[in-house]
Amino acid sequence: MNNQKKRDGSHRSLHLLEELSRGDAVTQRELSSKLGVALGLVNSYIKNLVSKGYITVKAVPPKRYAYYLTPKGFAEKTRLTYHHLQNFTNLYREARRDFKELFNRLYIEGVKSVVFAGADEAAEIAYLSLQEFDIKFAGIVDNERTGKDFFKYKIMPFEKIKEIDADFIIVSSFFKRDEIYKKLMEADITPEKIKSIFPVSFEST
């Protein structure tokens, strides 16, 4: 679990550094929306990056800030990118195995169709694993990537999840798994209909 938290933290730091490296004037609320994390967490990350000398901040009225990576920040971004690639290699190997085991169990149980919730690298691994089984792919939802392509499909908004005819919902994002699980609970999806290979810290009770 500690390794997963470190992996999550490194990924979010990298994603934030990538956004800030553009030098655009943005609010922390906008960054929160782009990153898919809580506003308070964005504020905490930015303070941490400033304290480490990775970024500098310039106020741009009204209530906006321009963030600039320092040479030290660019070096950190490069380091995190390298580690992210290493982590992705490990994630791919483990997720490929676990997704195949999950879909094999579902196939044996007679499951005919699944829908994915969350579109990122893990979702791509899940889709490739699903192709080995006679289970229909009913679609994928992700608010941040709505309308974009996912293989030969279009990503749909999360609100469509209850309209899609599928036997099970697969939590197909590693980094947003807690957020997705919480949204599914709020949408009154029964836990029995949700399948995931990733542990979640969000509790439904």
Q: In the chain, what are the domain boundaries?
A: 2-69, 93-195
Average pLDDT, integer, range 25-40: 80
Q: Is the pLDDT of residue 113 over 90?
A: yes
The CA distance from 49 to 32, in Å, is 16
Q: Is the pLDDT of residue 57 over 80?
A: yes
Mean pLDDT over each residue of the chain, to the nearest integer: 85
Q: Are strands 168-171 and 149-150 parallel, antiparallel or unpaired?
A: unpaired
Average pLDDT, integer, range 89-93: 76
Q: Is the pLDDT of residue 3 over 70?
A: no
β-bridge mates for residue 117, sequence order = 141, 171
- For residues 65 and 30, the answer to whether their CB atoms sit within 8 Å is no
For 2-69, CATH gives: 1.10.10.10
Give the three-class secondary structure for 180.
helix
* CATH architecture classification, 93-195: 3-Layer(aba) Sandwich (3.40)
- How many residues appear in the chain? 205
Please tell me if the domain spanning 2-69 has the same topology as the one spanning 93-195. no
Average pLDDT, integer, range 129-150: 94
Numbers of helices and strands, H then E, in the chain: 6, 9
Q: Are strands 149-150 and 153-154 parallel, antiparallel or unpaired?
A: antiparallel
